[in-house]
Amino acid sequence: MHERESADLAATLIRQAVLGEGCTLRPLVLHADNGSPMKGATMKTTMEKLGITASYSRPRVSNDNPYSEALFRTCK
């Protein structure tokens, strides 16, 4: 838990989760919101290095993936 959102913190979390769970050999997709930390260069670079494909909500559609959106709301 951090007091602020940042691409660096998000990249560190993703890296730790992927390596900790040992899922580096499977194709991964990360559904993210359209916030700047999730679209930042640091986060994109980390995801590319780990072989993760990004999936973003469509602009102006809040319920694109209701389960993921509910999880984001809960986590934030």
Residue 46 banded pLDDT, cuts 50, 70, 90: confident
Q: What is the pLDDT of residues 5-40, one digit of tens each?
A: 788 888 888 889 888 888 777 788 887 766 777 777
First to last CA, the chain: 10
The sign one gets for the Cα dihedral 75, 62, 45, 54 is: positive
Task: Check residue 54 and give its pLDDT.
Answer: 82
Residue with structure tokens 């916030």?
35
What's the CA angle centered on 50, arms 46 and 56, to 5 degrees? 65
Is 65 a residue whose pLDDT tops 70? no
